[in-house]
Amino acid sequence: MRLQHIGELQAESYICMLIKYPVPASSMFNRFKISFFSLLLTISLCIALSATAQKVVAVNDRVDQHMFTFTEIEWLKDDSNQLTFNDISSKNYSGRFQPNLSSTPQTKDLKATYWFRIRIRHSSLAEKRFILEFFDQTIDHVTAYLPQKDGSYRLKEFGDTFDFEERELHHKNFELNIRNDNDQTQSYYFRFKSSQIADVIIVLRSVDWFISYALDEYFYFGIFYGMILVFSFYNLIMFIAMRQRQYLYYVLYNLSVGFFEMSTDGIAYQYLWSSATHWNQIAYAFALYATSVFALLFTRELLFVKSKAPRLNQLILYIIAIRTVLFLYGLLVDRSLLTYKFIEFIPLAVAFYTGIYIYKNGYKPARFFVLGYSFLFAGFSLKLLIMLGLTWLNFGVATYYSLSICFVLEMVFLSFAIGDKVRILKHKKDKVQRQMMRQMAENVKLKDTLNQQLEVKVEERTKEVFHKSLIIEAKNAELQEANDLLKQQAEEISRMNVLLEQDNQELQFNVEKVTRDRVMSADVDFEEFSKIYPDKESCNLFLSELKWKDGYQCRKCKNTHYYNGHIPYSRRCSKCGYEESVTTYTVFHNTRIPINKAFYMIFLIYSTKGKISSHKLAEILNIRQSTCWTYGSKIKLLMEERKTILKKTNKNGWSKLVLE
């Protein structure tokens, strides 16, 4: 319009110049030149006027909806906040409106007032009723000046600072009925004032199209929020059953996302707090804060960040603390800080990087976590780039709801991540159980082998005894010939029977002793000892059975109920959550010696009553002498302290040195 106004002034000046200084009649060539240049000037002015003039949108029954974009919307910024409708509708301000250069204008200066103007060509022949719809539900205050048939204007105010019941149509967006009772081209003016950046999305819609569109939109909203509730309810049940905080954080994160979406799309204002206008101005800030915090807490818990990436764990805690301080400062001191929604990009990026880092380090459940956050990161980045001015990325409705779609995809893949984590933990548990079963089978096999060897020895001794009995019978036959020697032979036979009986008893006792104490014999070597305790798993199993043979009791709260901890064979209190590893409060806690070698060292020191040297231990176990001396001194000190207890033990006495 500014160029149009300048062009009109130039045309008027040129015509006045021709009138004031007429061309002589005798100069036909000059007259022809001036006429030619006048024609060129007229054509150029027409092109300039047509290029810069505001486009008019016509009401047409064949077009059910039309979104105003680019030069169809003109705007005027009022830094003084003092301009009235009479001022901006006057000729002095008419030329000051600027054509919109982006698909969607925005009120970027929160301290200023913005005026917007659109032009509509009405048609009295149109049979359909039409409305104007404003998409952004976060606009605080809009004053609409709607032209009437007689040239006057009707004033209508709306925005989220007004009660929901005051709207013409009870819909989450703002709608205005327009009168289409003439064939004029009329200008509509809108005065915007908002405490946060507002998107000026204006759509001309027929009422029939609006009803169909609104029903479809609310249907998809129902699916979206229904999915959030279903996922949240399922994981809440899992939390109640499993008592794992990852499920609780996931539920709170999903509900925070739903709370934020409801606050920004107007559903919450329509159904939850239709009269709480002040709360409606800040509800989204609470939702954003909760979304960021619970997303980071869920990331910590799901991916074991504390143990797998301690530095990232510290970074997450710092970000939660900083985000909390910023939220409280914005809530209590400077409310304008709450409008910077894209500050959540930082917590999102940290959670995304944490997932990538832990997945690269080999933790498989992080793969679905990374995939879900990839969608959310893409949607968030798209919104951020559009806000920074890359309007060519705006593809209409798909872009407008892109973040909601990405939230749904992320929610699905995060559920997969939780399931994947549970599946992998179950697989590890099954693997440990299979190893235990294999070990038990090997133990049974070893036991059967020993029993077979003993049976062979018993059979050989039995044959020997039977052979001796035959000799005795032969001698008895010979003694019958000599009655004098019968008594002596009888006494000798009795004595031999007694000796045989003693031998049999001793043999039976030796068999039992070999069966019971074969591994605990003093002359067993490390290779034989390792058959019983071949690896860390078997040692930890023995420790867990020894440590909690009388039942479990939490050392913090004395609770007797527990769950399996994150570390194999550890136990976690079901009440206070304290987790106690199998080596805690034993002589193996924090030792750098392989636990099966530490077992054998205790056994050797105990079986030799502490007389074995550290050099001998180092030679047997292939460990440095200084390490053997340090650890051996600790065991010998325990033997001295517990010598009274050790005297009363008859087997497996070395196990009395294990528990502290």
Instruction: Supply the pLDDT for residue 320.
Output: 92
Instruction: Supply the pLDDT for residue 524.
Output: 60
Beta carbons within 8 Å of 159's beta carbon, 6+ residues apart? 139, 140, 141, 142, 174, 194
Contact 372, 409 (CB under 8 A): yes
User: What would the mean pLDDT of 278-305 be, rounded to a whole number?
Assistant: 87
DSSP calls for 480-519: HT-GGGHHHHHHHHHHHHHHHHHHHHHHHHHHHHHHHHST
CA–CA gap between residue 487 and residue 191 (Å, rounded): 138
User: What would the mean pLDDT of 559-586 be, rounded to a whole number?
Assistant: 88
Question: pTM higher than 0.85, yes or no?
Answer: no
Weakest-pLDDT range from 126-130, 397-401, 527-531: 397-401
Contacts by residues 277-286 (CB-CB < 8 Å, ≥ 24 positions apart): 277/160, 277/161, 277/162, 277/163, 280/160, 281/140, 281/160, 281/161, 281/195, 282/331, 282/335, 282/338, 283/259, 284/138, 284/260, 284/338, 284/341, 285/327, 285/330, 285/331, 285/338, 286/259
Question: Is the pLDDT at 450 greater than 50, yes or no?
Answer: yes
User: What would the mean pLDDT of 255-265 be, rounded to a whole number?
Assistant: 86
What number of other Cβ atoms are within 10 A of residue 7's Cβ?
A: 18
pLDDT band of residue 659 (cuts 50, 70, 90) is confident
Question: Is the pLDDT at 542 greater than 60, yes or no?
Answer: yes
User: What would the mean pLDDT of 183-212 be, rounded to a whole number?
Assistant: 90
- CA dist list (Å): 495 to 464, 486, 499, 514: 17, 14, 6, 28
pLDDT band of residue 383 (cuts 50, 70, 90) is low
Final residue before a domain boundary, out of 428, 444, 478: 428
Structural domain contains residue 106: yes
Contact 66, 204 (CB under 8 A): yes
- Which residue stretches of 388-532 are H helix? 397-400, 402-480, 486-517, 526-532
CA–CA gap between residue 207 and residue 212 (Å, rounded): 9
Question: Is the pLDDT at 111 greater than 80, yes or no?
Answer: yes
pLDDT band of residue 367 (cuts 50, 70, 90) is confident
Three-state DSSP state, 107: coil
CA–CA gap between residue 285 and residue 639 (Å, rounded): 65
> Looking at the structure, do residues 464 and 605 belong to the same domain, yes or no?
no
Instruction: Supply the pLDDT for residue 114.
Output: 94
Final residue before a domain boundary, out of 52, 68, 94: 52
Structural domain contains residue 559: no
User: What would the mean pLDDT of 641-648 be, rounded to a whole number?
Assistant: 76
> Looking at the structure, do residues 25 and 120 belong to the same domain, yes or no?
no
Question: Is the pLDDT at 29 greater than 70, yes or no?
Answer: no
Instruction: Supply the pLDDT for residue 314.
Output: 92
Instruction: Supply the pLDDT for residue 522.
Output: 46
Structural domain contains residue 321: yes
Identity of residue 651: K
CA–CA gap between residue 309 and residue 315 (Å, rounded): 10
| Mean pLDDT (the chain, rounded) | 78
More confidently predicted of 475 and 382: 475
Instruction: Supply the pLDDT for residue 14.
Output: 34
Structural domain contains residue 557: no
Q: 441-475: string of b/e by CB count within 10 Å (b at 16+)?
A: eeeeeeeeeeeeebeeeeeeeeeeeeeeeeebeee
> Looking at the structure, do residues 375 and 459 belong to the same domain, yes or no?
no
Structural domain contains residue 247: yes
Structural domain contains residue 577: no
Question: Is the pLDDT at 423 greater than 80, yes or no?
Answer: no
Domain of 648, in residue numbers: 526-550+586-657
Question: Is the pLDDT at 76 greater than 90, yes or no?
Answer: yes
More confidently predicted of 158 and 235: 158
- CA dist list (Å): 117 to 57, 102, 103, 140: 12, 15, 15, 19
Residue 658's nearest CA partner among 628, 635, 636, 630 is 635
Instruction: Supply the pLDDT for residue 224.
Output: 83
Question: Is the pLDDT at 43 greater than 50, yes or no?
Answer: no
Question: Is the pLDDT at 545 greater than 80, yes or no?
Answer: yes
> Looking at the structure, do residues 513 and 535 belong to the same domain, yes or no?
no
> Looking at the structure, do residues 386 and 531 belong to the same domain, yes or no?
no
The total domain count for the chain is 5
Residue 200 is part of a domain; what is its CATH number?
2.60.40.2380
- Which residue stretches of 310-365 are H helix? 310-332, 345-360
pLDDT band of residue 515 (cuts 50, 70, 90) is very low
> Looking at the structure, do residues 380 and 391 belong to the same domain, yes or no?
yes
CA–CA gap between residue 653 and residue 645 (Å, rounded): 9
Question: Is the pLDDT at 396 greater than 60, yes or no?
Answer: no
Instruction: Supply the pLDDT for residue 523.
Output: 52
Residue 76's nearest CA partner among 197, 194, 202, 191 is 191
What is the per-residue pLDDT across 597-628, written as a single tens digit (0 to 9) for each? 888 888 888 888 888 888 888 888 888 888 88
> Looking at the structure, do residues 469 and 592 belong to the same domain, yes or no?
no
> Looking at the structure, do residues 99 and 150 belong to the same domain, yes or no?
yes
> Looking at the structure, do residues 222 and 358 belong to the same domain, yes or no?
yes
> Looking at the structure, do residues 47 and 71 belong to the same domain, yes or no?
no
CA–CA gap between residue 485 and residue 464 (Å, rounded): 26
> Looking at the structure, do residues 82 and 97 belong to the same domain, yes or no?
yes
Structural domain contains residue 575: no
Instruction: Determine the Cα angle at 403 with ends 397 and 407, to 5°.
Output: 130
Instruction: Supply the pLDDT for residue 326.
Output: 92
Instruction: Supply the pLDDT for residue 130.
Output: 92
Question: Is the pLDDT at 591 greater than 70, yes or no?
Answer: yes
Instruction: Supply the pLDDT for residue 34.
Output: 36
pLDDT band of residue 44 (cuts 50, 70, 90) is very low
Instruction: Supply the pLDDT for residue 22.
Output: 38
Structural domain contains residue 581: no
Instruction: Supply the pLDDT for residue 507.
Output: 62
Question: Is the pLDDT at 354 greater than 50, yes or no?
Answer: yes
Final residue before a domain boundary, out of 187, 212, 237: 212
> Looking at the structure, do residues 161 and 229 belong to the same domain, yes or no?
no
Tokens standing for residue 239: 């939390």
